[in-house]
Amino acid sequence: MKWRKWNRWIHRELGYLFFGMSIIYGISGIALNHGVARHWNPGIITRSVSYDYNRSITKTDVTREVIEEILEITGEKNSFKQYYFPTSDDLMIYLKGGHINVHMPSGTISVTRVRNRPVFNEVNYLHYNKPKKLWTWFSDLFALGLVLMAISGLFLVKGKKGITGRGGLTTLIGIFIPLIFLAIYLWF
């Protein structure tokens, strides 16, 4: 049948065209899922290193010299921004791309460097539609393409394994799974 030929063509060509987009949205989808669930932060990487200041200090001891000494110990002399005291025991020194937390009574220094997570930062940027403008339309096109691929995919195979056979059953299972989750978490 001619319509099957066209159906196959649509499915194949959209599959090729939106391969890159599917990967982008698939990877960022997993990242965002776990970001929302607070399992991890897909956008940034933090690395912490500890140092010992070897002496106990109080708020009144903190001078520009003390700050410079701590920056010297941690090798962060060129990235200093500002400092403040989040609590009476803690000194926070902000750096370009991180911060140093000094627990003053124990003299423990903890340097945290923060940087964007490569790949995830980029794919999330696109998934969240941060570019806006033309990207909105292209990602809309992709979303429409997904719908077309899903529909055309139903009619790729004829017979027992097709939509009128086992394929139909699998399709129904796939529709019911999100409905079950909605029923459990949202509706009842």
Partner 1 sequence: MQRLIVWVLFAMLFGSCSQSGKQEETTAEESQTEQIVKATIQELLAQPADYNGKEVAISGMVTHVCKHGGQKCFVLADDGETQIRIVPAGDIDEFKIDLEGSTVAFKGTFKVLNPVQAEALEADHDSKEHHETEMSHSQAEKADYFIEAVDFKELTQ
* Per-residue mark of binding to partner 1, 51-90 (x: CB under 8 A): ------------------------------xx-xxxx---
Residue 101 in the binding site for partner 1 (CB under 8 A):
no
Residue type, 88: S
Q: How far is the CB of 188 from partner 1 (least distance, A)?
A: 20
Q: Distance between CA 107 and CA 89 in Å, rounded?
A: 10
Task: Tell how many helices (H) and how many strands (E) occur in the chain.
Answer: 6, 5
Residue 178 in the binding site for partner 1 (CB under 8 A):
no
Residue 185 in the binding site for partner 1 (CB under 8 A):
no
Q: Distance between CA 80 and CA 177 in Å, rounded?
A: 52
DSSP 184: I
Binding span for partner 1 by CB under 8 A among 8-16, 42-50, 156-164, 176-184: 42-50
Q: What are phi and psi of 40, to 5 degrees?
A: -160, 170
Q: Report the sign of the C-alpha dihedral through residues 8, 9, 11, 12, in that order.
A: positive
Number of residues that bind partner 1 (CB under 8 A): 21
Residue 96 in the binding site for partner 1 (CB under 8 A):
yes
Are the C-beta atoms of residues 43 and 34 closer than 8 Å to each other? no
Residues at the site binding partner 1, with contacts judged by CB under 8 A = 35, 38, 41, 43-44, 46, 81-82, 84-87, 92, 94-97, 99, 114, 128, 130
